[in-house]
Amino acid sequence: MVYHWQSHNVKLSGVDDMVLLPKISEDAIVENLKKRYMDDYIFTCIGPVLVSVNPFKQMPYFGEKEVEIYQGAAPYENPPHIYALADDMYRNLLIDNESQCVIISGESGAGKTVAAKYIMSYIARISGGGARVQHIKDVILESNPLLEAFGNAKTVRNNNSSRFGKYVEILFGNGGQPEGGRISNFLLEKSRVTMQNLGERNFHIFYQLCTGASVNMKKDFGLCQLDYYHYLSYGGSHKVEGTNDAHDFQETLKAMNVMGLTDQEQSNILQAVAGILHLGNVMFLEKGNYSEIQDQNALAFPSFLFEVDQNHLQSKLTSRRFDSKWGAQSDTIDVTLNVEQALYTRDALAKGIYARLFDYLVKVSITLSHAADVEVLLSKSRLVLHLSFS
């Protein structure tokens, strides 16, 4: 049994860096990854590229001990680890004063989101700074559970799949301490708001709100059992093994507090989420080839939560306005929709509201520094995390 000279009780399994394989082939690479995976080594290098195999369980080597081992160590002193990759990027950023980028790519369930978390948490641990810098670190780290609640969902392959892509920038001062950051999102899977495949769920926040809201919040938002909501009925099951939605809701509220959202802003956000759930329960019936609201009571709550006139919302769901021009003349025509068109309009409204709500949360998450600092920060080095969507 052979051990790395610096790492204690670390058995060598397969080849740490697959450029050292005697024969480079697909079978040899897969066999090496499998051998290491069976020995609970999920990280393997291919030169500067780190390959990670999702173990679907909590591994024991992400604590303070590992931070101390990899901080400042040479690349080949220790076994491959995401901390080694993060440390190498951070040191290059400080020494060369050049921006660094890591692209995290893989299929759904490969562990991209968790990998980004570990990189950001490692950088937050080893970089210095005072109280203001610590606040920025907190905001950077707490942006994860907030965006996960609104942008992640259970799929058939992954219980916490990111249904959006994101581009994260962390900006550093001359001393290596984080001074700000930005997050850009793209490709949010809006269709999930109104429909999911069998065995999947809607975005986490809907289940968190229904199960974790306080009694007063449930009363104010008219929240009921999960089975009551049409938009949550497609997947077949609301439960996810190993997930406590009520507990996660408290983590989401904590993240909102760290982001600096006021109680009123938090209430407005959750009010919009509840409004989307109630909007999905608005059904239509056909009358003379045109659509009508089946139950006015079902329309009352989304109107109340969206703070719009009920008659106005009804008009927008069951009719469409066309503006036409003939030369200098213009005319406006209201066309009544059939049931199929009304359902499409309802779903389009729900997806549009959710997409704008998500964009707002991303905007909140990227406001990590005072406006006066932005021009200065843009001229400083940055670490970029790019998570591809799959």
Query: Residue 332 falls within a domain, yes or no?
Result: yes
The answer to whether 41 and 81 have CB atoms below 8 angstroms apart is: no
Q: What domain range is 310 assigned to?
A: 281-348
Across residues 138-160, what is the average pLDDT?
87
Tell me: is residue 106 an annotated ligand-binding position: yes
Query: Residue 344 falls within a domain, yes or no?
Result: yes
Tell me: is residue 355 an annotated ligand-binding position: no
Tell me: is residue 113 an annotated ligand-binding position: yes
Query: Residue 54 falls within a domain, yes or no?
Result: no
Tell me: is residue 107 an annotated ligand-binding position: yes
Query: Residue 301 falls within a domain, yes or no?
Result: yes
Tell me: is residue 236 an annotated ligand-binding position: no
Tell me: is residue 154 an annotated ligand-binding position: no
Query: Residue 306 falls within a domain, yes or no?
Result: yes
306: domain CATH number is 1.20.120.720
Query: Residue 326 falls within a domain, yes or no?
Result: yes
> pTM of the entire structure?
0.81
3-state per-residue secondary structure call for the chain: CCECCCCCCCECCCCCEHHHCCCCCHHHHHHHHHHHHHCCCCEEEECCEEEECCCCCCCCCCCHHHHHHHCCCCCCCCCCCHHHHHHHHHHHHHHHCCCEEEEECCCCCCCHHHHHHHHHHHHHHHCCCCHHHHHHHHHHHHHHHHHHHHHEECCCCCCCEECCEEEEEEEECCCCCEEEEEEEEECCCHHHHCCCCCCCCCEHHHHHHHHHCCHHHHHHHCCCCHHHCHHHCCCCCCCCCCCCHHHHHHHHHHHHHHCCCCHHHHHHHHHHHHHHHHHCCCCEEEECCEEEECCHHHHHHHHHHHCCCHHHHHHHHHEEEEEEEECCEEEEEEEECCHHHHHHHHHHHHHHHHHHHHHHHHHHHHCCCCHHHHHHHCCCCEEEEEECCC
Q: What is the pLDDT of residues 333-378, one digit of tens each?
A: 888 999 999 999 999 999 999 999 999 998 887 654 433 333 333 3
Please report, rounded to a whole number, the percentage of residues in the chain having pLDDT higher than 90: 56
Q: What is the pLDDT of residues 224-269, one digit of tens each?
A: 999 999 999 999 889 898 899 999 999 999 999 988 899 999 999 9
Residue 380: pLDDT over 60: no
Number of domains in the chain: 1
Query: Residue 310 falls within a domain, yes or no?
Result: yes
Tell me: is residue 108 an annotated ligand-binding position: yes
Query: Residue 339 falls within a domain, yes or no?
Result: yes
